[in-house]
């Protein structure tokens, strides 16, 4: 089944599978998560589902208006869109009681619907997980890019962790764009693909493997066929 949800990374641990093998897992909490809006090809130029997640103390005025229009009384912290294709046999547009929504498998989603993991996911599903990786600060080329460094002999006592030559000769006579050099490491969007769902219930999901970000970080989860 096609599925998408927003969640908060809670903790990493290990469990034993049915064969007695110990596997690393990450537990994420998915409550509260609501459908805030649906984009349609006819009016917006593309089809997508906008989700809102996490309880905030107060929203900014534009976000507050979007949430109020959806009939949601909880101030949501994190808004994100998932692009979908209703050409897929699993995803169809529906019209019920004057409301236009989506049908995914047996589930009907309208603006204001609360999404729980068990509605769109099950054990064994393969998903992609996206999040913001941990920020490491300023790092050199060895830590940032895995460079080997220079030789420790022949008078190069200060070149062990240096990048080496960064430019060329007369042509083009400059440092080319995109050259791997020292700089800020981490703090960027990272997607880990092909992770297996171990458990999905009403409030949380257990995912096999490790996912990007610090504890408490916001993450996006989607199935492979989206």
pLDDT tens readout for residues 167-195: 888 888 899 999 999 999 999 999 999 99
Query: Would you state the pLDDT for residue 104?
Result: 87
- Both 86 and 181 in one domain: the answer is no
Query: Would you state the pLDDT for residue 89?
Result: 67
Token pair in block for residue 55: 């309880």
How many C-beta neighbours within 10 Å does residue 45 have? 8
127 closest CA partner among 219, 221, 35: 221
Q: Where are the alpha helices (DSSP H) in 70-218?
A: 117-120, 141-145
Token pair in block for residue 101: 């929504």
Element (H, E) at 69: helix 61-69
**Region 83-96: what's the mean pLDDT?**
81
Percent of the chain with pLDDT over 90: 59
Domain that holds residue 180: 139-185
- Both 8 and 104 in one domain: the answer is yes
Query: Would you state the pLDDT for residue 49?
Result: 93
**Region 148-172: what's the mean pLDDT?**
87
Query: Would you state the pLDDT for residue 195?
Result: 95
25 closest CA partner among 179, 129, 163: 129
Q: How many domains does the chain have?
A: 2
Instruction: Work out whether the CA dihedral 157, 160, 166, 169 comes out positive or negative.
Output: positive
The answer, yes or no, to whether residue 22 has pLDDT greater than 90, is: yes
Residue indicated by tokens 């400059």: 174
Query: Would you state the pLDDT for residue 8?
Result: 95
The answer, yes or no, to whether residue 225 has pLDDT greater than 80, is: no
Q: Give the model's confidence band at 153: pLDDT under 50 very low, under 70 low, under 90 confident, else very high.
A: confident
The better pLDDT of the pair 225, 36 is held by 36
**Region 156-170: what's the mean pLDDT?**
88
Phi, psi of 192 (to 5 degrees): -105, 125
The answer, yes or no, to whether residue 88 has pLDDT greater than 70, is: no
Query: Would you state the pLDDT for residue 1?
Result: 66
Q: Where are the alpha helices (DSSP H) in the chain?
A: 41-44, 61-69, 117-120, 141-145
Query: Would you state the pLDDT for residue 62?
Result: 85
- Both 40 and 95 in one domain: the answer is yes
Q: In CATH, what number is assigned to the domain containing residue 125? A: 2.40.30.10
Instruction: Tell me the pLDDT tens digit for each residue of 109-139.
Output: 999 999 999 999 999 999 999 999 999 999 9
Residue indicated by tokens 């080329």: 141
- Both 59 and 74 in one domain: the answer is yes
d(CA 84, CA 81): 9
- Both 48 and 143 in one domain: the answer is no
């Amino acid at each position: 089944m096609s599925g998408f949800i927003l969640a908060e990374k809670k903790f990493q641990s290990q469990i034993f599978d049915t064969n007695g093998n110990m596997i690393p897992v990450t537990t994420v909490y998915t409550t509260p998560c609501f459908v805030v809006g649906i984009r349609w090809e006819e009016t917006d130029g593309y089809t997508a589902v906008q989700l809102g997640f996490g309880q905030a103390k107060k929203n900014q005025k534009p976000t507050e208006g979007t949430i109020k229009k959806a009939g949601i009384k909880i101030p949501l912290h994190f808004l994100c869109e998932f692009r979908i294709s209703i050409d897929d046999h699993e995803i169809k547009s529906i019209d019920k009681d004057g409301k236009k929504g989506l049908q995914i498998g047996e589930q009907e989603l309208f603006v204001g619907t609360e999404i729980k993991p068990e509605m769109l996911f099950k054990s064994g599903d393969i998903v992609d997980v996206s999040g913001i990786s941990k920020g490491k600060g300023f790092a050199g080329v060895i830590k940032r890019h895995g460079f080997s460094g220079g030789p420790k002999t022949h008078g190069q006592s200060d070149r062990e962790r240096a990048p080496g030559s960064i430019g060329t000769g007369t042509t083009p006579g400059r440092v080319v764009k995109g050259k791997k050099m020292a700089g800020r490491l981490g703090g960027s969007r990272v997607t880990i693909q092909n992770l297996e769902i171990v458990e999905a219930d009403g409030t949380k999901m257990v995912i096999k493997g490790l996912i990007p970000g610090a504890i408490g970080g916001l993450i996006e989860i989607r199935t492979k066929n989206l």
